[in-house]
Structure 1
Amino acid sequence: MIRSVSAALLALSLSACATTSAMAEKAADHPEARSYAVSADAMADVDAALARASTSRKPVLLVMGANWCHDSRALAGWLEQPRFAALVAQRYELVFVNVGMPQTGDGHNLAIARRFGLEELPGTPNVLVVHPDGALLNPETATSWRNAASRSEDAIFEELALLATTEIARD
């Protein structure tokens, strides 16, 4: 009887390791930034990005997320990869803004979202593409990034590449 119980416990332990290993493999499906940049003056960062955008004629890629958020860190991790970094450098002026936990009432820098016509942020991250004149170019998709960690690399890249062309259509 003791051997049967021991064998069952060993089997359970091994299956737990397999589950943990599978979860670790799933987590490795995307890079994850270690830290989501937090600025002392996020509005000034946005203003600076818009000033750069006026000169470069590229839209601002405004990523509003948080360090605690797995999806925010996943998206930030993708943006650090060479393929994404090249796209962003060529097509966007990038700025990260920490928004805390807006869905629980503990939000930060929410005036920035309101500045671009978003009255609330239902979660994190949010990806706003802003024309150099300050107009939000993607109001339909700006708050749809809460599943960034489960999106494929290609899906994220294709959406960012498509959003970059929105600015061209507007001018």
Structure 2
Amino acid sequence: MRKFHLLSLAILATLTATPALAAKAPHMPIARFNDLAQPLPKPYDEAADAKATDAAVAAARARAKKAGKLLLVDLGGNWCLDCRILAGVMETAPLRQWVAARYEIVTVDVGRFNKNLQVPARYGITDRLEGVPALLIVNPRTGKLVNAGRVTALADARSMSPQGLADWLAQWPAK
């Protein structure tokens, strides 16, 4: 019985310790998306071809590895309101500084789901994206996707709050 109790405590400690590895998101100074600076940003380079995009992702991964950060590949399009809302939230202080300290970010224009799809394919996503923004959070040392199965969780970003978006970004522990 004692061994069972100790084993249960060890399992419980492991399960509860995992979220503690993630950093707490800063308190967002805005409560509504209407409070974001207008016009909303258009973060995606619509003219970038596959070669330029691949080079940008590789450079961001190298910077992330060197700095000990996670790589965040933001797949989307300037036509997408949810993508632009996410970009606007990420530009607010203090989230901008908080994100910059934890992630190396690269934005990738996927057009209308018909451009630069070699990027998600590199991380095992070969089916059509279920929506954008799609965020690939990658361990730059291993090249492995940290948020597998949850890459399109923010595709309906407008249904969340600015704090909810910040908290979602905070759930991924540093590598």
| Shorter-chain TM-score above 0.5 | yes
Q: Which has the larger radius of gyration?
A: 1
Residue from 91, 108, 121 that aligns with 2:115: 108
Cα shift at 1:123: 1.5
| 1:48-59 alignment, distance < 5 Å | 48-59=59-70
Aligned length: 137
TM-score, with normalisation over the residues of structure 1?
0.74
Contact 1:71 1:148 in 2 (8 A): yes
* Residue correspondence of structure 1 range 1-171 to structure 2 within 5 A: 28=34, 30-31=36-37, 33-38=40-45, 40=48, 41-102=52-113, 107-119=114-126, 120-132=128-140, 133-163=142-172, 165=173, 167-168=174-175
Q: Judge conservation of contact 2:33–2:162 (CA < 8 Å) in 1.
A: no
Normalising by the residue count of structure 2, what TM-score does the alignment of the two structures yield?
0.72
The alignment yields a C-alpha RMSD, in angstroms, of 1.7
Unpaired segments of 5 or more residues in structure 1?
A: 1-25
Q: Distance in 2 between matches of 1:116 and 1:150?
A: 27
Residue aligned with 1:34, SS: coil
Gaps of 5+ in 2: 1-31
Once superposed, which parts of structure 1, at least 4 consecutive aligned residues long, lie more than 6 Å away?
Answer: none
Higher helix share: 1
In 2: Cα distance, 1:83 partner to 1:27 partner: 16
Contact 1:101/1:123 (8 A) holds in 2: no
**1: distance between equivalents of 2:72 and 2:57?**
10
Question: In the TM superposition, what is the alpha-carbon distance from 1:100 to its structure 2 partner?
Answer: 0.9
One-letter code of the match for 1:117? G
Cα gap change, 1:33 to 1:42, in 2 (>3 Å): farther
- C-alpha offsets along residues 68-106 of structure 1, whole Å, 9 cap, x if unaligned? 00001000111111122111111010111111111xxxx
Compute the displacement of 1:150 (Å).
Answer: 2.3
1:83 and 1:61 map into 2 onto residues whose CA distance is 18
Residue type at the aligned position of 2:165: I
Percent identity over the alignment is 36
Which amino acid in 1 is paired with 2:133?
Answer: P
Higher RCO (C-alpha under 8 Å, 6+ residues apart): 2
Instruction: Check the 8 A contact 1:129/1:136 in 2, yes or no.
Output: yes
